[in-house]
Structure formats: structure tokens, C-alpha cells
Structure 1
Amino acid sequence: MKRLLFPLAAAGLTAAVLAAPATAAPSWAKDDLAPKPADAYGVANFWLDANGAALRKATQYTLDTKQVPKLVGSASKGAPDGKPGMTGPTTATKAAPSTNVNIPKTIGKVFFLDKEGKTRWCSATSIQSRNRNLVATAGHCVFANNGKENVYDKWVFIPGYYQGKAPWGVYAGAYAFAPYDLDTYDDYDGDYAFVAVHNGFSLGSKEVSLKEWTAWQGEKWLKPREITAAEFRKCVLNLGECWSVGPKDAELAGPDHPEAVLERNEVSKQTYAAAKVGKGQGFKFGPPVEEPVTATEWRAYNGLGEKGTGPDKLGNYTITHYYTQKWVKPGSARKYYEGGFIVGAAKDTGRLGDTVGGQGVAWNQPLGQQVTVFGYPSAPHPDGDKPFTGTTPKWCAGKTNTKSYQVNTFKVETHQVLKCSMTEGADGGPWLIKYNNGKRSGYVNGVTSVGGDNNGDGRIDFISSAIFDGETADVYNKANYASTKSIVGPNGEMLK
């Protein structure tokens, strides 16, 4: 049994439809990505935080080799290992207008952290599955190999990714399925993976009460709103949600003074604990306020508040502040504030297949077929020319070679190849046979694995893919039954 040397990173379907050949042993492997909703929420939020800063920072995954691969024709025709089969594409049940009329809504990018913790991306597509939750991509876009086989961290799929936008939400990976029994393959011959994803979600925000804000388990921040003195006088009845800011030497007054205004006075945890509850000078000013801060702010903080122990499961750093009441005469240089307790309320965008549909899947098909390949190429050619940006998807079309090819750099013995100039970044993009341009759908019969410069001009001129066969059907059949769920509740709260 062999494993990948450095693995590149169907409504109503039944096991009978995708049954593996009788002579083949089960050949799939399953690995957890972020199966728990709370973990998936944190993963997706990592990419969406700060208006998608991590998404914009990410670069295309680059193959772990200094040598430009060369594709060498073999004598093999990549003969099928069983009967040909396929399962048809599904259409979206939700309205999802395309931002680019030439590209299927199923096409998108997968984002993840590589072995060095760098933000990376590859190409991928939504595919047909009974739970409408599967993504097909290259195996090297999911699996790392650093002494043991494992998966990349913070893995998400963004369908319809277009110039930095996630129009239909972010889908966090739950489980990854890939071939591991390589009795008839060698290394990158099994360079594909099927990933089951949770329901997608997008981030929004809403203002809540201090009580709700304190209890909120997801992202939250403070954004006080300045109000007038008249508005303040009405709000002050709701002690703890409005306050004033003025000169530190303002004259104190009793809380019942007709012109007295309320300030927040930060104190230590011990002073707050000893304070009384009610309305009065030095009494408690609402419950403690847990403020999310950056890691830098957290490390540098040296005030009266209490620092948390470090990042929580969502990666948040916090400082808890304690306030007592300070009643003063208004004076002239005073500003008034209210509320500003904001939470990051997520919105469930539904199952992947319901939102954007899914391409069909085919296996044991003959070579030499017309295919349409999509992806997000970005890397420069070997000669340094950089015609692609990676911000928008591109495509190639043509017939695959009638014979399989070897890629000695990655010990590939049987890959299908297509003449195409897409560079790295297109890795994992689907190879669609029987593609209908009107319906924007076809059957995934491969995913981009490596590219090669065969004529030696310093330009990528061929790309290759694993040949989808009976083992692929076996892996797909297992992934097809993976069950996932929504990761946010009806009010935008994180589910556990």
C-alpha cells in the first residue's frame, strides 16, 4: 500500500449507484477539519474578520519543488478499472444571481493555513451530493505531509469568489475524504479530495443591550454613540447604558440633584465588588464590561481592568472593566454617550448545493474527451511573466490527450493532460466533461494537479489531473454520506 508522497493539497444517491468494483478494497480516508459548529464559526470568522483582511492577504498555494514539472507521455491509456459511471449536476434551489455570466456559480476558492501558518488558496467547485454539502479540489489543497498525513488548518470554501468578495457566504470544512489505498496509483495519481462543508454564513452586526452584549459568545465590540443632553436625561433612567464625559475635576453632586449627570468611573475589581447596587455616588455602574482587544493591546495593557488569560476558542483577547457611578454637576465642556454594544450577528446562507448548485461527478470515462477547466491562476510563469491576478476565475477548453502522462517530479504514473497555460492558483479547479455553457454545468472528471513547461520556453503549456476511476467513485461514495449542519442560530448566535 502506498500513500501520497506529498498529497496535493447527488440527491437520492445510493451506495448501489456508486458501488466500488467487486475486486477493489475500500480505498478512502477521512480526516476531521472543523466538525463542531463552534470551531467552524471561529474558522470562517478568521477569514471574514476586519472586512476579509486574511482573504486579501492570502496567496496561491505553490508546489513544494524548485524544478518545473515536465509531463512525459506514457504507453498507458489510463484504462478504466470498472464500469463508467456518473451522477448528474444539481441546480440551486435559492436565487443566486451570477456576478460573472461566463463562470458557473459553483466555482470558487478554498482558503487555508499552510504548514508555516501562511494564508493560502486554491481553486475548487461545489459538486452533487445527497446532503448538498460537498466540494471537490486537489488533494494537495487539503492535505499536508510533514512526517505524518494531516490536513491544513482553517479550511474554508468561498463559491463565486470574485475580486475579494464572498457573494454567497463562507463554508467551513467539516470532513475531508481522499484516497489512501494506492495499490494501483503512485503519489499524485490520487491528487484529489472531496470535502464536506457546514452551511455557509455571512457576517453582519447589530446593536444589543449591555446584558445581551455581556452574554454574547461570538464577536463583539464597543461603539458608543454621542447623544444630546436632553437625550441623556431620558436615558439616565436606564442606569449602565448611558454616561457622560467631562473634566476630571468636575464638582461632585448627589444623584438626586436636578442637574446632576452620570459618569463612568473605572475602578479595580476589588473596589467594584465592595460597591453597593442601586443609584448613588460610588455605587456599581452596571455589570462588568468584557472588552475585546487585539493581542498587542492585551499585552500592553496596564490599567485597572482585569486581563483575560489569553485567546479564547474564537481567538479573542479580552479585558474586563469595572465601573462605579460618579455624579457631577454638568458644566459646559461635557459630552454624552449611549449604548454602543455591538455584536457580530452571522446569517446562515444555507447548504452549499441549495445556494449555488453542484456539478455532476464522473468516473471511468475514456480519455480524449472535450473538457472545460476552471480555476484562479495567479503565479507567474517560470520565465517571470505574470498574466494572471488570481482575483477572477479563468478557463481553458479542449480535448485531453488520448494517452496518460507521467510527471516524474511527483512520481505520477498516469495523469490525464490538457494543453492550457493556467499557472498555480488554478490547482484544484474542476475538469468538466459534457459542459453545457447555457446551464453552466457538467461533470467533474478531474481536478487540476500540476502544470508543466514541455517545450522549454519558460511558460506553462500543459496541466494535468488524476484520472477519476473506480477508486474515485469509492472515495466519493463515502464522502456523499457525510452529514453537516448550520453553525449559527436564528438570531445570529454561534451554535455549540
Structure 2
Amino acid sequence: MKRLLIPLAVAGLSAAVLVQPASAEPRWATDNLQPKPADAYGAAYFWLDSNGAALRKATQYHLDAQDVPKLVTSQSKGAPDGKPGMTGPTTTSKPSTAKNVNLPKTIGKVFFLDKSGHYRWCSATSIQSRNRNLVATAGHCVFANGKDDVYDKWVFVPGYYQGKAPWGVYAGAYAFTAYDLDTYDDYDGDFAFVAVHNGFSLAGEKEVSHNQFKAWAGDKWVKPREINAQEFLKCQLNLGECWSEGEDKPADLVGPDYPGAVLEKVEVNATTYKDAKIGKGQGFKFGEPVVEQVTKPQWDAYRGPGDKGTGPDKLGNYTITHYYTQKWVKPGTSRKYYEAHYIIGFAKDLGRLGDVVGGQGVAWNQPLGQTVTAFGYPADPHPDGDKAFTGVTPKWCAGKTGTKTYQVNTFRVDTHQVLKCSMTGGADGGPWLMKYNNGKRTGYVNGVTSMFHDNDGNGRIDFISSAIFDSEVADVYNKANYAATKSIVGPHGELLK
């Protein structure tokens, strides 16, 4: 990257102590997402409510570019700017002997509201950290065009599939990225590490008394139930929570051209129907007479204005002929009565992200030309309009990264690493895993997808690019590594303070 960096002097990031001149600009930027439990709970509940409706509504985030960004070789071999290092992965997955690529449990989607209020998602992964609470993704999936601003309601959902969160939702607390991305919108630093709170899932609801409702610290709401006037009176006598809305007001007769007039039909006798006019108006004929076939008991019991005739017809059938005229009214209203029912919602704490799904390792200052497996949820169509991916399930690409760095002038990129891959937008933020172990489903994050490129100009994405994980990335990771988060719900499903 562009700034003079101080290499890490120790192998373990968690023990590293970095010193920089007082006059130097910081190499990282930190912004709050939802550090308070109430805000974190609200963000996670927003996505989980109504059986994950908001999750299913979200669409992939799009880079702010009219055309596919162009790659320009910088002819640099991207030599590391410090000593190589890595921190090992953790895993909860059982080893596998499958020959196909096994999808890691750590892979998932991050969801957030963009600055226009649209529901968006990117790809991401859980990574190793001392507090087992870090997510790695693209910086543009957390920070809104740099400029010291972050997206709202940011959460991570590992293993996301069709609106489901199999291992819970993890609300973001603190976000860390390169100073240049946050300050100058420089995509050489298009990466982010986010410390997340403990995950949780919704665990049902229960109707409680008013006192229990007032004492409950978690999610709660009043559910109204409509009752009749007698039940309303009884509720008031028992000092219950009940109320009424509206008023009893009869319908008024109006002309057919009155705004909001409603047409009703009135049954009349044959003479009145015969004398009524044809057309549209108060008391005018309403359609043709209607002949109803009835049983003998029904015929005997009928006392309405319709014509019963003199008895059964030649086939022994009994009929009644009904006649209708028009009635134009301004609808009346009726008072409605309601009684309050108090509902509390439960949430279940699922623990730290790394304890639930594990975490990939992180590697920095590795030479280019590494064999990596890149994961993500591609969804955008190719530039030629072909939509090869749905974004529903994660996909992967494998190969060696380029041995030279590339520039992307549109996004102020001087040194990106590239991988030949056809994944499209939606996969941004997904990890590039070096030394991927298919059996353990673990590796070392040595990049995250930043941009997509049509290098040969045939209307198909053929390369993806990532920030180079160098000493600056390690420095930001070291800062994020110390971020402490906690559970946001207690053992009884209540919201903690």
C-alpha cells in the first residue's frame, strides 16, 4: 500500500506491540456500528422478524461504477513490505474425506441498510481472533464510500440460505479498516474486520400479565384483540386495559353521484319493481328478477316481498321470484372495542461466533502467486446480461493469484492482487483462503474480493481482485483483535444492559 509501514516484529499478533512516530497518520480507522446491546438486538431483530422477511428482501450490494472497472498491470511484483506472518484457524467442523470442495461453516453474508435505505448484502467469513468475534469482509461492505461513515443495522449471518440463519445472527459492534479507505475512499485498503456481539436467535413468545410485561427487559409488544360491547363493559368494570375506536353512525341516503356513495340492493314486491325506473338512481331497478328454487318447507315459511306464485310448477318445483331496487348510501360507521394482550418475546444466546462456526486463519506479507480458494455468494449478471448465479448459495473459485500487481484507476487502486474467477457481484467481501484444507474446511485469509473485471472484454467477468494483505492489513487486524464484545441477551431471553 502507499504509506510507510512498520513491520510486525513478533509472530503472534495478539502479543504484538506497534510503535509509530507521533507525527505519522494512523494506519487504521475504527467506527462504531451497534456497540450497545439494545441497538444490536434491534438490528438483529430487524432481519429476523417475520421469519426472515428482510433477509429475503435484501439484494446484493453494487459498486458505484457505471462500467466494469479496468485492470491495468503495474508491472510490480508486489514484494511484501514486512516479515510474513499468519495466525492459525479454529474450527468446529468435523474433518471430511469428500473429494469435492466442502463449504466452510464460517462463510456467510453480511446484511445492512445502504444510505438510500435499501436492504443489501455482501459475502464474508468468520476469522480467528483472541475473542473469537471477528468477521472479515470488503471495506465497501461496511464503510459507506469511505468518508468516516458506516452502514446501518449491520449483521453477519454465517451459513445463510434462503432467509434462514442456521447458526444465528451476529450484530456488528465495532468496524476496523485502513485509514486510506475510511478517509480517502482508496480501494487499496478495501477490507474490513468487524467485531460482532454474541449471536442469538428468536425463541418464541408468551402472553403475560401487565406487571410482567412492564418488568420485562427484552422484546415486548401489545397485541389488540377485538371484543364486543358487553365484553368491553366487563373489561372496564374489572379495570382491564381496553379501549374503543370510532363511533356508531347510521348510513345516509345519497344520490348515486355523491363522492364515496355505495350501491346496495333492497328487496321489494313485484308492483314496486314494475313501477321503478330503469337506469342509475335512488329507487331504480336493480337488475332483472331473480328466480330462486327452494324446498317445500322453505316455500311455506317464506314471508318476504318476493312472489311465491300459487304453488309448485308442472315438475313439482317450488320457486320464489325476488325483485330488487337500488339504494345509494353514504356508509355508516360502528364503534369497535379492543382489549390489550401483553406479549413478550424470547431470544436465545448462541455464544461467540468463533465458538459456534470456527474461524479462518489470517495471513499477511505472503508472496504473490499463492494457490487460494475464494468463496462468495455471486448474484450479479455478467456484463453481457447472462445471469449465471442466484446469490442463494455460496460458490467458489480456486487457482493461483497473479504474480504481478494491478491498478484500477477508477477506484484509486495502485496495488491489487488478482485471481482468475467468474464469480460476479455479491461475492464481494468473500475470503481468499490460502492453504485451504478441504477436510477441515479451514485455511488462511490472504485477501477478500473487492472488485470484478472483464479483462478480455468479452462481456464476461473473468478476474476478481483484492487488496494485498500486507503489514497495514496486519496492523488493522491487530487492532481489531483486541476488540471485546459480549452477549446481548441473558439466560432467560431478556435483553441485557
TM-score, normalization: structure 2?
0.73
Cα gap change, 1:378/1:14 in structure 2, threshold over 3 Å: closer, same or farther? closer
Instruction: Supply the distance in 2 between the matched residues of 1:157 and 1:61 (Cα, whole angstroms).
Output: 15
Instruction: Supply the distance in 2 between the matched residues of 1:420 and 1:101 (Cα, whole angstroms).
Output: 16
How far is the alpha carbon of 1:431 from its aligned partner? 0.4
For the Cα contact (< 8 Å) 2:134–2:481, is it kept in 1?
yes
Deviations 1:366-385 (A, max 9, x none): 00010000000001111111
Partner of 2:475: 474
Any idea what SS the aligned residue of 2:372 has?
strand
State the superposition RMSD in angstroms.
3.3
Q: Structure 2 residue aligned with 1:283, among 220, 237, 261?
A: 237
Partner of 1:200: 199
How far is the alpha carbon of 1:362 from its aligned partner? 0.4
For the Cα contact (< 8 Å) 1:421–1:460, is it kept in 2?
yes
Query: Partner letter of residue 92 of structure 2?
Result: A
Partner of 1:321: none
Instruction: Supply the distance in 2 between the matched residues of 1:482 and 1:17 (Cα, whole angstroms).
Output: 15
| 1:163 correspondence with 2:162 | yes
How far is the alpha carbon of 1:264 from its aligned partner? 3.5
How far is the alpha carbon of 1:284 from its aligned partner? 3.9
Instruction: Supply the distance in 2 between the matched residues of 1:158 and 1:201 (Cα, whole angstroms).
Output: 10
Instruction: Supply the distance in 1 between the matched residues of 2:380 and 2:227 (Cα, whole angstroms).
Output: 53
Instruction: Supply the distance in 2 between the matched residues of 1:161 and 1:433 (Cα, whole angstroms).
Output: 23
Deviations 1:184-208 (A, max 9, x none): x981110000000000000121324
Unmatched tracts of structure 2, length 5 or more: 4-10, 248-337
Deviations 1:271-330 (A, max 9, x none): xxxxxxxxx8953433x479xxxxxxxxxx9659xxxxxxxxxxxxxxxxxxxxxxxxxx
1:213-362 equivalence runs, <5 A? 213-221=213-221, 248=229, 263-265=231-233, 282-286=236-240, 288=241, 341-362=342-363
Instruction: Supply the distance in 2 between the matched residues of 1:491 and 1:371 (Cα, whole angstroms).
Output: 44
Query: Partner letter of residue 85 of structure 1?
Result: G
Partner of 2:386: 385
How far is the alpha carbon of 1:216 from its aligned partner? 3.1
Bigger-Rg structure (1/2): 2
How far is the alpha carbon of 1:406 from its aligned partner? 1.1
How far is the alpha carbon of 1:338 from its aligned partner? 11
Deviations 1:138-182 (A, max 9, x none): 000000138x32000110000111222100000000000001058
How far is the alpha carbon of 1:339 from its aligned partner? 9.9
Cα gap change, 1:194/1:282 in structure 2, threshold over 3 Å: closer, same or farther? closer
Any idea what SS the aligned residue of 2:122 has?
strand
Partner of 2:33: 33
Partner of 2:445: 444
Sequence identity of aligned pairs in percent? 74
Instruction: Supply the distance in 2 between the matched residues of 1:180 and 1:107 (Cα, whole angstroms).
Output: 26
Query: Partner letter of residue 151 of structure 1?
Result: V
Partner of 2:405: 404
For the Cα contact (< 8 Å) 1:432–1:446, is it kept in 2?
yes
How far is the alpha carbon of 1:213 from its aligned partner? 2.7
Cα gap change, 1:389/1:69 in structure 2, threshold over 3 Å: closer, same or farther? same
For the Cα contact (< 8 Å) 1:432–1:442, is it kept in 2?
yes
How far is the alpha carbon of 1:220 from its aligned partner? 3.2
Instruction: Supply the distance in 1 between the matched residues of 2:372 and 2:88 (Cα, whole angstroms).
Output: 16
Instruction: Supply the distance in 2 between the matched residues of 1:167 and 1:352 (Cα, whole angstroms).
Output: 13
Any idea what SS the aligned residue of 2:237 has?
coil
TM-score, normalization: structure 1?
0.73
Q: Tell me whether 172-181 or 203-212 shows the greater mean CA deviation.
A: 203-212
Q: Tell me whether 205-214 or 127-136 shows the greater mean CA deviation.
A: 205-214
Query: Partner letter of residue 464 of structure 2?
Result: I
Aligned residues: 393
For the Cα contact (< 8 Å) 1:21–1:470, is it kept in 2?
no
Cα gap change, 1:284/1:354 in structure 2, threshold over 3 Å: closer, same or farther? same
Any idea what SS the aligned residue of 2:162 has?
coil
Instruction: Supply the distance in 2 between the matched residues of 1:281 and 1:17 (Cα, whole angstroms).
Output: 67
For the Cα contact (< 8 Å) 2:101–2:438, is it kept in 1?
no
Partner of 1:187: 186
For the Cα contact (< 8 Å) 1:123–1:428, is it kept in 2?
yes
Instruction: Supply the distance in 2 between the matched residues of 1:383 and 1:45 (Cα, whole angstroms).
Output: 38
Instruction: Supply the distance in 1 between the matched residues of 2:440 and 2:349 (Cα, whole angstroms).
Output: 26
Instruction: Supply the distance in 2 between the matched residues of 1:104 and 1:264 (Cα, whole angstroms).
Output: 57
For the Cα contact (< 8 Å) 2:87–2:361, is it kept in 1?
yes
Instruction: Supply the distance in 2 between the matched residues of 1:114 and 1:127 (Cα, whole angstroms).
Output: 24
Cα gap change, 1:127/1:281 in structure 2, threshold over 3 Å: closer, same or farther? closer
Instruction: Supply the distance in 2 between the matched residues of 1:340 and 1:94 (Cα, whole angstroms).
Output: 46
